C-alpha cells in the first residue's frame, strides 16, 4: 500500500475518533503515529505539541501536516491533513440536514457522558508516557516544576509558557554547570 494512503488512513482514524478536541487527540496520535507506525519518535511528538502551542490552528491539523511532511514531503502533509478533516466533512454534511435532531439527541449526550471520564484517563496515560520521556534528568524535572508552578498560579498564555520554557532550557542546560 502506498505510504500516502497509509498516512491518510491513520489520520482519518484520528479525525474520526477524537472526541473532545485538543489534547483528547493525543492518545490516538500517539498510538497511530508513534507506537504503531514509528513515523516519529517520542521526542519529535513532544516537539510537535510544543510547536502547536506556538502556532495558530487546531493541534490535529498541525500534527497531520508535520507528520505527513516528515514521512513523505509535501504530498505526505496534504495526505495527512486531508485524512484528519475528511470524517468531519462527511459527518457535518449529513448532520447539516438533520441539525435539530442532533441537537436533541440524548443518545449522543449519553455517549459523551460516558466518554468524558475515559478521555481523562486516556490523556493521563499520554501525560505519563511523555513524562517518562521528558523527565530524564534533574534539570528537566526542575524546569517542569517551575512551569507547573507558573501554570497553577498565573493564567499565562500558552505561547508565553513555551517562550519561558525555552529560556529556562538555555539557562539550565548552557549556563548552569552540573
- Residues 47-86 touching other proteins, rule: CB under 8 A, are 47, 49-51, 53-62, 65-66, 69-70, 74, 77, 81, 84-85
Q: Does 6 engage in binding with other proteins (CB under 8 A)? A: no
> Shortest gap between Cβ of 5 and other proteins (angstroms)?
19
DSSP letter (8 states) at residue 25: G
> Within 81-120, which residues bind other proteins (CB under 8 A)?
81, 84-85, 87-89, 91-93, 95-96, 99, 102-103, 106-120
- Site for other proteins (CB under 8 A): which residue of 27, 39, 72, 83? 27
Q: Which residues of 24-52 are buried (b: 16+ CB within 10 A; e: fewer)?
A: bbbbbbbbbbbeeeebbeeeebeebbeeb
Euclidean distance between CA atoms 15 and 150, whole angstroms: 32
Euclidean distance between CA atoms 165 and 144, whole angstroms: 9
- Site for other proteins (CB under 8 A): which residue of 125, 153, 154, 178? 125
Euclidean distance between CA atoms 37 and 86, whole angstroms: 21
> Shortest gap between Cβ of 110 and other proteins (angstroms)?
4
> Shortest gap between Cβ of 141 and other proteins (angstroms)?
8
Amino acid at each position: 500500500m502506498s505510504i500516502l494512503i497509509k498516512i491518510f488512513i491513520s489520520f482519518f482514524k484520528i479525525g474520526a475518533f477524537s472526541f473532545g478536541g485538543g489534547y483528547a487527540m493525543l492518545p490516538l496520535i500517539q498510538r497511530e503515529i508513534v507506537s504503531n507506525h514509528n513515523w516519529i519518535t517520542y521526542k519529535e511528538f513532544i516537539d510537535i505539541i510544543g510547536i502547536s502551542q506556538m502556532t495558530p490552528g487546531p493541534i490535529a491539523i498541525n500534527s497531520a501536516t508535520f507528520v505527513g511532511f516528515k514521512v513523505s514531503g509535501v504530498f505526505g502533509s496534504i495526505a495527512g491533513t486531508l485524512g484528519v478533516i475528511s470524517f468531519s466533512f462527511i459527518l457535518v454534511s449529513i448532520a447539516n440536514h438533520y441539525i435539530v435532531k442532533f441537537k436533541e439527541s440524548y443518545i449522543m449526550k449519553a455517549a459523551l457522558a460516558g466518554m468524558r471520564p475515559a478521555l481523562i484517563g486516556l490523556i493521563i496515560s499520554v501525560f505519563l508516557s511523555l513524562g517518562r520521556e521528558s523527565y530524564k534528568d534533574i534539570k528537566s524535572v526542575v524546569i517542569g516544576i517551575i512551569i507547573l508552578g507558573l501554570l497553577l498560579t498565573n493564567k499565562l498564555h500558552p505561547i508565553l509558557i513555551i517562550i519561558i520554557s525555552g529560556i529556562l532550557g538555555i539557562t539550565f542546560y548552557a549556563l548552569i554547570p552540573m
